[in-house]
Amino acid sequence: MSMRDADHDRPERDPPDRAEGGGLVSRRALLAGGAAALGGAVLHTAADALSQIPGGAPSQVPDPTRQQGAFASRRGARAPSVELGRLGTGQVSRSPLQDLEGTITPADLHFERHHAGIPNIDPAAYRLMVHGMVERPTSFSLTDLKRFPQRTHLGFVECSGNGRAAYSGTSGEVTPQQVDGLLSTSEWVGVPLSILLEEVGADPAATWVLAEGSDAAVMTRSIPMEKAMTDAMVAYGQNGEPIRPAQGFPARLLLPGFEGNSQVKWLRRLEVGAGPWMTREETSKYTDPTTDETARMFTLVMDSKSIITFPSYPSVLPERGWWEIKGLAWSGKGAIERVEISVDGGRSWEEAELQEPVLPRCTTRFRHLWQWDGGEALLQSRATDESGDVQPSHAEFLRLRGPAARYHFHHVRGWRVAADGRVSYDARGV
Ligand SMILES: Nc1nc2c(c(=O)[nH]1)N[C@H]1C(S)=C(S)[C@@H](COP(=O)(O)O)O[C@H]1N2
Ligand SMILES: [Mo]
C-alpha cells in the first residue's frame, strides 16, 4: 500500500452482522410483554420476571442470584458478550461509532492514524524542546510539564480525511465506523501551550509555532500563534490515564477543533517563528484543491458535521413503529446549535433533541423519535454550529470542492431503510 493510499484508504469490510433487530427490543414489545408478565403468575425473582418478557431472558446464563459472583480484580474487563473493536490495520484504525454510548471514546478504541508506526518512548528520557524566537530556549521533562497549571479539554480529534472513501462512492454495506470512524472523543488533560510560551519568553512578533513529533515520520506542522495562545495544550492525560502510546505517549499537541494531522503526537520540539514552515504535511498533503485549479492551505478548523449511528448498517429494523434515530454531531468552530433530521429524502426537516452536555469543539449526541411506517425511507442529519456553519448537501459540496477533494468531507449523508428493515449507507442522499 502506498503512502497515499495508506492515508484513509477504502474502508475495511466488516463481516456483516445480521442479528435480527441488532439486539434491540422494541418499546412496544417490551411493554406488552412486561404487562403480560405482571398480570400472570406470582413473581419470585427479578430473573423470573425477566424470563417472562419476550426477548428479556438471558436463557443460556444460569440464574446469577443462585451463586457467588466473580471477585474484584486489578483491572476490569468488558462483559463477555460485548464486542467492541477498532477496525483497520497498519497505519489506520477506526472507532466503532455505532457501538458506543454517549460521547467519550474508551481510550483503547480511540481511532489511530500513524504515518510511521507508534514509537517506543521512555518517559524518563522524554524531553520537549521549545526554542526559536524565544528569550530562554528550554527543554522540559515530563515532570516539568506536569508542574505547570493543568487544564482539561473534553473534545474530539478527527482526521480531516475522515469520510473520504464514502464520499468518493463507497455506499451500501458500510458501517458508521467505516464511514466516519476516524473520529474519537476524550477528556484530554495537559498544560496550556500559552503557559509554556510565556515561560520561555516567546517574542511577541512571532506568528507561528512549528510542532515536531519523535516518530520515524518526524511529523511537522506549523500552528498559527493565535491558536497556540488560546486553547492549545500539550496533553499528557486521556480519559483519566496517561495518554496511550497510540495517541502520543507521553505527550501530544492538542488543538481543539483543528484537523487531526496538526495535533502532533510524541511531541518533541516546538519552534517559535515568524511564518509557516511549509512542511510536507501542509503542502503536498492536507491542502484542499478547489474547482479553479488553486488549493486552499491551512484549512485547519474542522467544519460542522454529523452522522446517524442508529439506524445504520448493519442493523435491521424488525418491525414498523417508533424508533429513536441517534447520532453524533460536532464542529471545530464551537458548540453544536442544531441538528435537523429528514426521514423523507430531504423534503422536510425536523429538529432533533441535543443531549447534554453540549460542549464547544466536542461531539454532541442527538436523538429524534421516528415512526417507521414500514416503507422505504432515507434518513439524513444536518448539523449547524454556533458560528452558523451548516452542513452542505452532497451536490453542493461537490459543486464547491470538486470530485478531487481529499479532506474535510462534511456534507450531509444518508441511510436508506428498505421495506424489509435493512439499512444501507447512501453518501449522496438527495
Ligand atoms: N508524530 C505524529 N503525529 C501525528 C501523526 C503521526 O503520524 N505522527 N498522525 C496525525 C494524524 S494524520 C492524525 S489524524 C492524528 C491521529 O491521532 P490519533 O492517532 O491519536 O487518533 O494524529 C496526527 N499526529
Ligand atoms: Mo489524519
263 C-beta closer than 6 A to ligand 1: yes
Number of residues assigned to the chain: 430
Q: State mean pLDDT over 290-308.
A: 90
CA of residue 214 to ligand 1 center, whole Å? 12
Q: State mean pLDDT over 424-428.
A: 89
Task: Tell me the pLDDT band of 290, cut-offs 50, 70 and 90.
Answer: confident
Q: CB within 8 A of 83, min separation 6: which ones?
A: none
pTM of this structure: 0.87
Quick check: helix, strand or coil at residue 289?
Answer: strand
Closest CA to 305 of 391, 240, 393: 391
Closest ligand to the CA of 160:
2
CA of residue 205 to ligand 2 center, whole Å? 30
* Residue 322 exposure: Cα atoms within 13 Å on the Cβ side: 9
The pick from 95, 115, 270 for probing ligand 1's pocket by mutation, whose C-beta has the most ligand atoms within 8 angstroms, reads 115
- Using the Cα atoms of residue 388, residue 391, residue 395 and residue 401 in order, give the sign of their dihedral: positive
CA of residue 261 to ligand 2 center, whole Å? 4
**pLDDT value at 162 more than 60:** yes
Q: State mean pLDDT over 38-45.
A: 42
Please tell me the distance from the alpha carbon of residue 318 to that of residue 339, in angstroms, as a whole number.
Answer: 26
The pick from 95, 184, 263, 408 for probing ligand 1's pocket by mutation, whose C-beta has the most ligand atoms within 8 angstroms, reads 263
Q: State mean pLDDT over 299-312.
A: 97
8 Å CB contact between 288 and 271: no
Q: CB within 8 A of 110, min separation 6: which ones?
A: 95, 157, 184, 186, 238, 244, 246, 247
Q: State mean pLDDT over 86-109.
A: 97
Q: State mean pLDDT over 208-232.
A: 98
Q: State mean pLDDT over 130-139.
A: 98
Q: State mean pLDDT over 188-214.
A: 98
8 Å CB contact between 102 and 120: no
Looking from the CA of residue 159, the nearest atom of ligand 1 is 14
**pLDDT value at 59 more than 90:** no
Closest ligand to the CA of 264:
1
User: What pLDDT was estimated at residue 62?
Assistant: 85
158 C-beta closer than 6 A to ligand 1: no
Distances (CA, A) of 2 to 5, 6, 9, 118, 360: 5, 6, 10, 18, 36
Looking from the CA of residue 213, the nearest atom of ligand 1 is 1
Q: State mean pLDDT over 350-378.
A: 98
Q: State mean pLDDT over 363-383.
A: 97
**pLDDT value at 401 more than 60:** yes
Q: Which of 12-16, 92-96, 158-162, 213-217 has the lowest mean pLDDT?
A: 12-16
Q: Whose CA is nearest to atom 24 of ligand 1?
A: 264
Closest ligand to the CA of 114:
1
pLDDT digits (tens, 9 = 90+) for 139-153: 999 999 999 999 999
In angstroms, how far apart are the furthest CA atoms of the chain? 81
Percent of the chain with pLDDT over 90: 76
Closest CA to 263 of 206, 328, 360, 332: 332
**pLDDT value at 38 more than 70:** no
User: What pLDDT was estimated at residue 364?
Assistant: 98
Please tell me the distance from the alpha carbon of residue 240 to that of residue 221, in angstroms, as a whole number.
Answer: 27
**pLDDT value at 19 more than 60:** no
- Tell me whether strands 127-132 and 267-273 are parallel, antiparallel or unpaired: parallel
Task: Tell me the pLDDT band of 370, cut-offs 50, 70 and 90.
Answer: very high
**pLDDT value at 161 more than 90:** yes
User: What pLDDT was estimated at residue 430?
Assistant: 62
Please tell me the distance from the alpha carbon of residue 196 to that of residue 128, in angstroms, as a whole number.
Answer: 10
310 C-beta closer than 6 A to ligand 1: no
Please tell me the distance from the alpha carbon of residue 420 to that of residue 319, in angstroms, as a whole number.
Answer: 9
Beta bridge partners of 422: 316
**pLDDT value at 21 more than 60:** no
**pLDDT value at 60 more than 80:** no
Q: What's the CA angle centered on 368, arms 362 and 369, to 5 degrees?
A: 155
**pLDDT value at 404 more than 90:** no
CA of residue 111 to ligand 1 center, whole Å? 10
User: What pLDDT was estimated at residue 82?
Assistant: 96
CA of residue 116 to ligand 1 center, whole Å? 10
The pick from 261, 281, 299 for probing ligand 1's pocket by mutation, whose C-beta has the most ligand atoms within 8 angstroms, reads 261
User: What pLDDT was estimated at residue 54?
Assistant: 57
Task: Tell me the pLDDT band of 296, cut-offs 50, 70 and 90.
Answer: confident
Q: Which of 2-11, 189-198, 302-311, 364-373 has the lowest mean pLDDT?
A: 2-11
CA of residue 260 to ligand 2 center, whole Å? 5
CA of residue 93 to ligand 1 center, whole Å? 11
Mean pLDDT of the chain: 88
Please tell me the distance from the alpha carbon of residue 2 to that of residue 23, in angstroms, as a whole number.
Answer: 39
Burial label, 64 (beta-carbon count in 10 A; 0-12, 13-18, 19+): exposed
8 Å CB contact between 416 and 309: no
Looking from the CA of residue 212, the nearest atom of ligand 1 is 1
Q: Which of 161-170, 257-266, 305-314 has the lowest mean pLDDT?
A: 161-170
User: What pLDDT was estimated at residue 86?
Assistant: 98
**pLDDT value at 36 more than 60:** no
Closest ligand to the CA of 93:
1
Looking from the CA of residue 214, the nearest atom of ligand 1 is 1
406 C-beta closer than 6 A to ligand 1: no
Task: Tell me the pLDDT band of 403, cut-offs 50, 70 and 90.
Answer: confident
Q: State mean pLDDT over 48-73.
A: 74
**pLDDT value at 254 more than 50:** yes
